[in-house]
Structure 1
Amino acid sequence: MTTLTFDSLNPATGAVVGSHPKATPEAVHEAVGRAETAAAWWAALGHAERRRRLLDYKAVLTQHIRELAALMHEENGKPVGDATLELVLAVTHLDWAARNAAKVLGRRRVNTGMIGLNLAATLEYLPLGVVGVIGPWNYPVFTPMGSIAYALAAGNAVVFKPSELTPGIGVRLAELFRESVPEHEVFQTVTGLGETGAALAGDPRVKKVAFTGSTATAKRVMAACAENLTPIVAECGGKDAFIVDADADLAAAADACLWGAMSNAGQTCVGVERVYVVDAAYDGFMRELTGRAARLKAGEDYGPITMPGQVDVIKRHIDEAVKAGRTVTGGSDAVRAPYVDPVIVEDVPEDSPAVREETFGPTITVRRTRDAQEALELANTSAYGLGGTIFSRNARRATELARLMRSGMTAINSVISFAGVPSLPFGGVGDSGFGRIHGADGLREFARPKAISRQRFAMPGMNITSFTRAPAELERLVRLVTFLHGRRKR
C-alpha cells in the first residue's frame, strides 16, 4: 500500500524542506505498541542508568546544534541565532531533568505522625508507561522537549507528534536519541496532520498526553482523551501583560519589551502582547520603545509568520486596533505576507480583539495607567494567564505585583526569563491551560505517586482497625487525640 506523504515548506520562500509520511491511525497504534514494550525496559533500567543515557543524548544534541538550528530555520523561518538559543535552552532542561529525576522521584521515607507511630511509610513516583506528546511549530524543540525530556527522565517511553509545519526537526530529535538508546524505541516520532494527533490522544495505552497549542485545539484533544480518562497537561495560548512601574529602568524595560513582543515574529505563547505603563514613566518609556522599534526589520531581526492562516488574524487585530487607538509604529500596511513589520498602537480599548484575543504576531498595544495597581487590575482581566512581566526598581513592590498577577509565571526586570530556569515549573491558568512542565513539578507530572505503609510492630493496647477492638482501646485513642489536638490556641 502506498504511504501518503505531506511536505514541510519554508515559510519565507515556499520551498519544500522535506517530505514526511502521514501516519495513519494504524501506524500510530503500532508505534504505541512498540512504545509499550520499550517503556517496560526503560523503567526497569532505573534512575542511574537512565540518567547516563539521557546525559549522553544531551551530548549528542549539543554536537548537532548547528545542523538542528539550520533545519529549524528552514522549517520555522526563525533566524539561525534564535534557533540556536532555543536548542541551548532545550539542552539545559534535558540536563536538569536527567540529573534531578532520582532526587525528585526516588523512594523516600515520610513521617507517620503519632497515630502511625508503629508504621514505616515510603513515597516514590513511578513511571506512567507511554506518554504522548503533541508539539507546536513556534518552538519546535524547546517546547516539546519540556515534556519529552521530563517524561523520559521519569522512566516513560514517548511517542511524539510534531506540528505538521515543523516535522523534520521532530524526526531528527528521535533519530539522534537512538544513538544513545539503540536497544528499544523509547522515543519515537510519528508525523502527520490532525488525524495523526487524534489517533495518539485517543489510544487507551497512552497514559498521559502533553499538548501545546491553541486553547480551541486543546479542547478537542481533551475530548479525545476523555474517552479513556487519559490525563492531559495542556499548555495553551497567552495574552501576556508587561507592566512598567514609575521607577523602572526605562531603557532596560523598552529593550526587554520589544524583544519579548517581536522575537520569533511575536509567535511566542509567553510573548509580550499587552503593555501597561504608569503615567509618570509613560512618555520616557514610549520614546525608548519607539526608537528601538524603528530600527527593527522583519526578515532580518526576526522571521516570517510561520502559519499562513495566522496572517489574517494578525491583520484583523491590527485593523481593529488602528481604528480604535493611535498608531505609533506600523499600521495596517505592516502586513506584507509572509512578513509583518513591528506594530505598536496606543490607547486601544480593552474590549478590542487586539487586547482580548491572542494575536501571535509582532504587535503590542500600550496603555497609560494611573498607577501600578491599575496596571495590575487591567493585566488580570484577561481570560488567559500564562506569563507576564514587571519592571520596577522597588524589589518588594515588584515581587508583590508579580505574586498578584494572574499568571503561572512572572518575570521581574527581565522578560521570559522563567523559561530558562529548569527548576521552575512552566504552565498557566485559565484559558492558558493546566498542568506543568519543567522543574520538579514537571517530573512529577509524568509519574504516579506510590504510597506504601508497613506495620513495624503492633501498637500495645490499641488495635483500632479490628472487629475485636475493645471500648477501652477506643477510649485510649480519644485521650491521645485530645492530648495532641484538643488544646485551643489563644
Structure 2
Amino acid sequence: MTFQQPVGDTLPRYPVIIGDSLEEQGSGETAAHIYPATGAVTREIRFASPADVDRAVAAAQAAYPAWRALPGDKRRDLMFKLASLFEAQAQEMAPILVSENGSLSLAAPYISYDAAQKFRYYGGWADKIEGRTVATWGGPAHDYVSYEPYGVVGVIVPWNGPLFAATMVLAPALAAGNCIVIKAPDLAPYSVMRLVELIRQAGFPPGVVNLVTGGADVGAAMVAHPGIGKIEFIGSGATAQKILANAAQTLKPVGLELGGKSAVLVFGDADLQSAAKRGLTGAVSANGQGCVNGTRLLVERTIYEPYLQMLTAMAGHIKAGDPFAGDTMLGPVISEASLNRISGLVDRGVAAGGRLVTGGGRMGGDFSDGYYLPITVLADVDPASEISRTEVFGPVLVVTPFDSEEEAVALANDSDFGLGAYVHTTNLARAHRVAGQMQAGQVQVNGSGEAMTPCVPFGGMKHSGHGRLGGIEGMREFQQVKNVWVNLA
C-alpha cells in the first residue's frame, strides 16, 4: 500500500492572525507537526506565545465596539457569505482536514458542509436578537430584559475535530456580537488556520476573529487574561479542571464541552442489523476519537450473542487504509502516545476478564509507520472495570449484557460522564421512558449521530461539562442578561 503524503507547502501558513496581520510564525516555541498516518513531518511551526495572546486580545477589544454596533442584518450577511465560501471551497478544505489529524477524505465534505450550515443557521439569528418586557409590581414601572455579548470570547478547541468544534462555537458567538480569540490545537492546527483565513476573505472586519496557535502555555494565557470575558473550552476533563482553577482568578465564566463514555442500549426488540451497524459507529467515527461516540454497548441478554456475531462480522468489513483514499473507513489515532495509552487500556481490560472478540494491538505491515489500531471489541466486560469507565478515545467498544430495562438504565447511568446516550428499540413507549431516565445531555433513539445539527442543543451533564452549543441555547451561551427598570411614577 502506498500512502499519500501531505504537501507542507499547500497547507495553511499562518499560525498567528491578529487584526489585519497574517503572520507566518509566532513568538513561541517551534515544533514539528506529525501526520499520524505515516509518522512523517508535514511542517515545522513556530507557535504563538503569551505575548501574542496579549496582542490578539488587544485587537479583539479594539474591534469590539464597532462589531457590536454593526446592525444584525450586516452580521447576518457576512455569516451567509462565509457559509458560501465553505461550500465553494469544500474540495480545497479536504486535504487540510486529512493532513492535520488523519481524518478521512470520505468525511471531509460533510465537515465543510456542516461548517457552512452552522454559519448559515446562526447568521439567521443575528438579525433576530430580541429582549422581553417583564410585568412588575410595587409601583408604576417599565421593566425589560436585554441580551448582550460578553465582549471578547476566548475559544480553545481540541485536536480530534478542530473545525467542527471551532465552527460550533464561533457561529453563535459572532452572531451574538462577540469578538474572538481562538487557539488552534498544536497537534492539529491547519483547519482552524484556514477557517480564520476564510473569515477574513468573507469581509469580517480585522480583529473580530484572531488566531493564536500553540500548546498549554497559550491556552493558560488566554484563560488568565483579564481582557477576555468568557472562555469556551472543548476538550478533556483533566484540562478543564486546570482551566476552571485558572479562570477563578478573574472570575470569568467558562463553558465546557468535555469527554464521554456514551452508553448504547440495545433492547431485544430492536432492529438488530441497524443496531449493530450503528453500534459500530462508535469505533469508526473520527477513527474512534469522538467525545460523543457510543462506545459502551449494553445489550439485552436474549440477543447478546447474535448481536456480538453481527457486530464482529460488520467490523471485518471496515477497511483501514490511507486517509486520502476515498474507500478508507478507518484511519489512525492522533499519536504514538495515544496509541500506547489505548493499547494499555485494552490489555488491562482483557486481564480484568474482558473477552477479546476482535482486534487487539497495533497494526503492522503497511501500517507500521503510522498510529493504527484495528476495531477492537471486548465482550463480557465488568461495568466496574477501568475500560468500562474510562474514555478510551480510540476504535474500541466494550460490551456488557443486561436482563431488564431497569438494569439497563442503571448500568447506563452508572458513569462519571453524561454527554450522550443511544437507545435502540422498536417500542415507542420504552423509547420515551428510557430516554427520560438517561443522565445525558443528548439521547438519540435508533440513531448514531444524526442529531448533531446546528439547530439542536448539544452538551453534557456530570463530568461531561456544562452549557450548550447549538440551537437558541447555543446563542444564549454567548449572551449576558441585563435587566433595566424604569420608574414611571
Give the TM-score taking structure 2 as reference length.
0.89
Aligned partners of 2:130, 2:43: CA distance in 1, in Å? 42
Return the match for 2:355 from 326, 330, 334: 326
Return the match for 2:224 from 202, 218, 224: 202
SS in 1 for 2:388: helix
1:395-418 deviations in Å (ceiling 9; x for gaps) = 221122112111111111011222
State the AA in 2 paired with 1:394: N
1:329-373 deviations in Å (ceiling 9; x for gaps) = 113466865000011111111222210110001011111110222
Aligned partners of 1:188, 1:331: CA distance in 2, in Å? 43
Matches within 5 A, 1:258-277: 258-277=280-299
SS in 1 for 2:486: strand
Alignment partner, residue 18 of structure 2: none
1:178-212 deviations in Å (ceiling 9; x for gaps) = 11235322111101111111111111110000111
Which 4+ stretches in 1 moved above 6 angstroms?
A: none
Alignment partner, residue 39 of structure 2: 14
* Residues 106 and 329 in structure 2, CA contact (< 8 A), matched pair in contact too: no
CA separation of 1:204 and 1:236: change in aligned 2, threshold 3 A:
same
1:190-245 deviations in Å (ceiling 9; x for gaps) = 01111111111111110000111110011111122111111100111110100001
Alignment of 1:362 onto 2:395: yes
State the AA in 1 paired with 2:471: G
Alignment partner, residue 425 of structure 1: 457
CA separation of 1:19 and 1:169: change in aligned 2, threshold 3 A:
farther
Alignment partner, residue 193 of structure 1: 215
| Larger mean Cα displacement after TM superposition, 127-136 or 320-329 | 320-329
* Residues 361 and 374 in structure 2, CA contact (< 8 A), matched pair in contact too: no
* Residues 255 and 467 in structure 2, CA contact (< 8 A), matched pair in contact too: yes
Aligned partners of 1:17, 1:102: CA distance in 2, in Å? 42
SS in 1 for 2:378: strand
1:276-297 deviations in Å (ceiling 9; x for gaps) = 0112232332232111011113
Q: Percent identity?
A: 35
Alignment partner, residue 171 of structure 1: 193
Alignment of 1:112 onto 2:128: no
* Residues 385 and 428 in structure 1, CA contact (< 8 A), matched pair in contact too: yes
State the AA in 1 paired with 2:460: G
Return the match for 2:419 from 381, 386, 389: 386
SS in 2 for 1:7: strand
Return the match for 1:441 from 470, 473, 489: 473
State the AA in 2 paired with 1:120: H
Return the match for 1:305 from 333, 337, 348: 333
Aligned partners of 1:438, 1:191: CA distance in 2, in Å? 25
Return the match for 2:435 from 398, 402, 409: 402
| Larger mean Cα displacement after TM superposition, 64-73 or 275-284 | 275-284
Alignment partner, residue 99 of structure 2: 74
Return the match for 1:130 from 146, 152, 173: 152
Aligned partners of 1:180, 1:106: CA distance in 2, in Å? 26
Alignment partner, residue 181 of structure 1: 203
Gaps of 5+ in 2: 1-24, 322-327
SS in 1 for 2:382: coil
State the AA in 2 paired with 1:15: A
Aligned partners of 2:269, 2:435: CA distance in 1, in Å? 16
CA displacement at 1:20 relative to structure 2: 3.0
CA displacement at 1:272 relative to structure 2: 1.5
Alignment partner, residue 480 of structure 1: none
Aligned partners of 2:89, 2:435: CA distance in 1, in Å? 38
Aligned partners of 1:75, 1:331: CA distance in 2, in Å? 26
Return the match for 1:90 from 92, 115, 129: 115
State the AA in 2 paired with 1:316: G
CA displacement at 1:306 relative to structure 2: 1.0
1:6-56 deviations in Å (ceiling 9; x for gaps) = 332211122332343321111110110000011111101032111111111
Aligned partners of 2:37, 2:447: CA distance in 1, in Å? 30
| Larger mean Cα displacement after TM superposition, 14-23 or 138-147 | 14-23
Alignment partner, residue 375 of structure 1: 408
Give the TM-score taking structure 1 as reference length.
0.89
SS in 2 for 1:393: coil
SS in 2 for 1:340: coil
* Residues 322 and 331 in structure 1, CA contact (< 8 A), matched pair in contact too: no
1:379-399 deviations in Å (ceiling 9; x for gaps) = 101101101100111122112
Alignment partner, residue 251 of structure 2: 229
CA separation of 1:454 and 1:292: change in aligned 2, threshold 3 A:
same
State the AA in 1 paired with 2:60: A
When the two chains are superposed, the root-mean-square deviation of aligned CA atoms in Å is: 1.8
Aligned partners of 1:42, 1:332: CA distance in 2, in Å? 52
State the AA in 2 paired with 1:303: G
* Residues 39 and 371 in structure 2, CA contact (< 8 A), matched pair in contact too: no
Gaps of 5+ in 1: 459-490
Aligned partners of 2:69, 2:46: CA distance in 1, in Å? 32
* Residues 298 and 342 in structure 1, CA contact (< 8 A), matched pair in contact too: no
SS in 1 for 2:398: strand
Larger Rg belongs to: 1
CA displacement at 1:176 relative to structure 2: 0.8
State the AA in 2 paired with 1:419: M
CA displacement at 1:310 relative to structure 2: 1.3
SS in 1 for 2:155: strand
* Residues 133 and 211 in structure 1, CA contact (< 8 A), matched pair in contact too: yes
CA displacement at 1:2 relative to structure 2: 9.0
Alignment partner, residue 9 of structure 2: none
State the AA in 2 paired with 1:209: I
SS in 2 for 1:81: coil
Alignment partner, residue 488 of structure 1: none
SS in 2 for 1:49: helix
* Residues 262 and 295 in structure 2, CA contact (< 8 A), matched pair in contact too: yes
| Larger mean Cα displacement after TM superposition, 119-128 or 340-349 | 119-128
Write 1 or 2 for the structure with the bigger share of helix: 1
* Residues 20 and 167 in structure 1, CA contact (< 8 A), matched pair in contact too: no
1:39-75 deviations in Å (ceiling 9; x for gaps) = 1111010321111111111111221111112101011
